[in-house]
């Protein structure tokens, strides 16, 4: 008699990244399995709040977990605890990190039974089928598995060409966590080729990144279903770059917007774009997207200087990076960016141009952008350049920041700032600087959502926005001045004592806390006014 396999798809977050959202990959796999009548449960949680007792009682036969470079250790810790209580459970890792280095992870963690490379729907279904039929794993494409002491890697499974053929992802995580914010993937792959990125390995079965998009009709049908069934009206379109399209649907982005409007879906949504996208817009097109609910975006700016943009293989110029921020802000679209300030080839000149760009766009108010350095993932294009130049210190997969800098003093500045203001999670300076940064990175997008849903409070919200910008411009100026003094000191020869003195003057706990408190009072004051008018936080917050 065929065995019935009980599957658990589990997403575990670190405390540092413990904002509960949907994990769309496992949600899509769950839908694919349930369509074939397999027994599947979905859970996501931070490590701290994970209900392990529920998992012990469930006694799953197979546990599938997405693993990222930032979550590898916590996922392992959780799996270790589960295996102590449910020793017969099989463990399967998936997502981009196992795709890049699956054999290394299996050697590192003997408790891992399987790894799925690339897209998971077909591979996971075939894995469960093989387990139920006890037919072995040699024919399951896209799978790494153990055969005694050997790790066997099968050939890759072909990509799913017709994304419209997939069932819509399950929304257990949206429902169970009472989220007000739904994730939708309208495409897979990316048409760019950034040198630090892993997408060619994940989305390409032959080393070539292969983009595929869902039809506008299919996308909007899913949006409507979520609005109707879950009363959710805020969305994140998580495509690598929303403007990507193919010859069969060259106006895909505009058609999605048109169909949202045609279906009277009063939603708001955010996207990712490449910086040069502003060139595709005119007055009519920006109005179309705004009318459909477009309120915020993230641009992969990455740098404010031409040399680093060339290193990262970015198609946009430094001028594009400025123009796109100005264009979308002028049209009341909230902006966040990706930014890599330091890399192994950073110079004082390049860093000076970066801080000039950040200050000009008010992103120097986000300390994270000033201290961020390039994570060099093994097998990315930039990895081979850095390795070829003899700058890699540690070639382990855990060491994406383990490289030397051509300018050793710049390297010392980078390491100093990164570990003082990014990696030191127990630091109160880190905590309050992150809260300040969250205003420009998250709060303005939320406020645009509230303005769209409750336009009668537009003037009230605008007053609070204006005050927040006033505070952030002061932070922006202060942070840029501090960074320039650090650069000036470093140019004359790195000196940690001088760096401590400079950062203590500008980036001390009192400064971070008082600024954060000021922004928090402004934020809470607005929410109290909205609440008094009958608009409760649960109408727009994930609470």
Site of tokens 């919200």: 461
pTM: 0.93
Neighbours of 96 (CB within 10 A): 21
Confidence of residue 400 (pLDDT cuts 50, 70, 90): low
Cβ atoms within 10 Å, residue 72: 20
Per the structure block, which two tokens stand in for 219?
A: 């996308």
Tens of pLDDT along 130-155?
A: 999 999 999 999 999 999 999 999 99
The tokens of 82 are what?
């589960």
Q: Is domain 7-153 in CATH 3.40.50.280, yes or no?
A: yes
Domain range annotation of the chain: 7-153, 391-542
* Nearest alpha-carbon partner for 343 in 381, 309, 368, 374: 374
Q: Which of 107-121, 369-383, 423-437 has the lowest mean pLDDT?
A: 423-437
pLDDT-based confidence at residue 88 (cuts at 50, 70, 90) = very high
Task: Tell me which residue of 366, 358, 372, 329 sits closest to 475, measured CA to CA.
Answer: 366
Q: What percent of the chain has pLDDT over 90?
A: 82
Average pLDDT taken over every residue of the chain:
93
Q: Are 277 and 253 in contact (CB under 8 A)?
A: no
What pLDDT shows up at residue 254?
97
- The pairs formed by 35-38 with CB atoms below 8 angstroms and a separation of 24 or more are 35/167, 36/125, 38/5, 38/7, 38/125, 38/128
* Burial category of 491 from C-beta neighbours within 10 Å (exposed 0-12, middle 13-18, buried 19 and up): middle
Residue 209 has pLDDT above 60, yes or no: no
What are the residue ranges of helices labelled H in 163-294?
172-176, 199-203, 216-230, 252-262, 283-292
Over pLDDT 70: what percentage of the chain?
96
d(CA 42, CA 20): 13
Dihedral angle sign, alpha carbons of residues 2, 43, 73, 373: positive
As a whole number of angstroms, the distance between CA 96 and CA 67 comes to: 7
Q: What share of the chain is helix, strand, coil (3-state, %, to 5)?
A: 50, 15, 35
Whether the Cβ atoms of residue 300 and residue 338 lie closer than 8 Å to each other: yes
Q: What is the pLDDT of residue 380?
A: 86
pLDDT at residue 268 above 90?
yes
Comparing C-alpha atoms, which of 262, 265, 330, 267 is closest to residue 294? 267
pLDDT of residue 52 exceeding 80? yes
Cα–Cα distance measured from residue 90 to residue 54, given in angstroms and rounded to the nearest whole number: 17
Q: For 223, phi and psi rounded to 5 degrees?
A: -55, -50
Q: Determine the Cα–Cα distance for residues 428 and 174; give it in Å rounded to an integer.
A: 32
Q: According to the model, what pLDDT value does residue 77 have?
A: 95
Nearest 5°: the CA angle 102, 103, 104 is 90
Gap between the Cα atoms of 191 and 244, Å rounded: 7
At 444 the pLDDT is 94
Question: Of 22, 534, 446, whose CA–CA distance to 230 is shortest?
Answer: 22
């Amino acid at each position: 008699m065929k065995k019935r396999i009980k599957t658990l798809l589990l997403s575990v977050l670190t405390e540092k990244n413990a904002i509960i959202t949907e994990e769309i990959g496992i949600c899509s796999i769950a839908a694919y399995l349930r369509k074939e009548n397999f027994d599947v449960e979905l859970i996501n949680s931070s490590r701290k709040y994970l209900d392990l007792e529920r998992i012990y009682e469930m006694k799953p036969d197979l546990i599938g977990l997405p693993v990222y470079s930032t979550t590898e250790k916590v996922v392992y810790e959780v799996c270790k605890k589960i295996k102590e209580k449910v020793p017969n459970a099989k463990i399967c890792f998936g997502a981009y990190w196992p795709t890049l280095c699956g054999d290394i992870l299996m050697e590192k963690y003997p408790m891992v039974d399987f790894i799925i490379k690339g897209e998971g729907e077909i591979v996971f279904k075939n894995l469960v089928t093989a387990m139920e039929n006890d037919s072995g794993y040699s024919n399951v494409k896209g799978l790494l598995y153990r055969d005694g002491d050997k790790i066997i890697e099968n050939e890759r499974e072909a990509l799913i060409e017709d994304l419209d053929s997939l069932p819509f992802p399950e929304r257990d995580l949206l429902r169970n966590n009472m989220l007000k914010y739904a994730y939708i993937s309208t495409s897979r792959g990316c048409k760019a080729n950034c040198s630090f990125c892993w997408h060619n390995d994940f989305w390409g079965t032959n080393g070539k990144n292969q983009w595929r998009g869902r039809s506008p009709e299919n996308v909007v049908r899913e949006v409507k279903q979520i609005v109707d069934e879950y009363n959710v009206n805020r969305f994140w379109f998580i495509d690598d770059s929303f403007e990507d399209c193919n010859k069969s649907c060259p106006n895909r982005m505009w058609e999605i917007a048109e169909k949202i409007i045609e279906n009277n879906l009063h939603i708001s949504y955010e996207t990712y774009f490449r910086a040069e996208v502003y060139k595709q817009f005119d007055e009519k097109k920006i109005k179309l997207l705004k009318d459909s609910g477009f309120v915020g975006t993230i641009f992969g700016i990455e740098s404010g200087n031409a040399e680093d943009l060339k290193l990262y293989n970015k198609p946009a110029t430094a001028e594009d990076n400025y123009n796109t921020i100005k264009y979308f802000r002028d049209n009341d679209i909230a902006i966040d960016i990706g930014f890599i300030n330091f890399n192994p080839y950073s110079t004082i000149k390049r860093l000076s141009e970066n801080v000039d760009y950040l200050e000009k766009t008010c992103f120097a108010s986000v300390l994270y952008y000033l201290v961020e350095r390039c994570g060099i993932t093994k097998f990315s294009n930039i990895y081979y350049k850095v390795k070829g130049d003899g700058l890699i210190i540690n070639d382990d997969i855990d060491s994406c920041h383990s490289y030397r800098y051509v300018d050793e003093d710049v390297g010392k500045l980078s390491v100093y700032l990164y570990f003082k203001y990014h990696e030191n999670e127990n630091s109160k300076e880190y905590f309050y600087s992150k809260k300040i940064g969250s205003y420009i990175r998250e709060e303005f997008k939320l406020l645009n959502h509230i303005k769209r849903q409750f336009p009668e409070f537009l003037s009230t919200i605008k007053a609070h926005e204006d005050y927040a910008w006033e505070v952030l411009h002061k932070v922006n100026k202060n942070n840029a001045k501090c960074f320039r003094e650090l650069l000036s000191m470093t140019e004359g020869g790195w000196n940690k004592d001088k760096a401590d003195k400079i950062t203590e003057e500008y980036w001390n706990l009192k400064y971070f806390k008082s600024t954060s408190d000021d922004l928090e009072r402004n934020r809470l004051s607005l929410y109290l006014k909205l609440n008094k008018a009958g608009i409760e936080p649960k109408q727009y917050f994930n609470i």
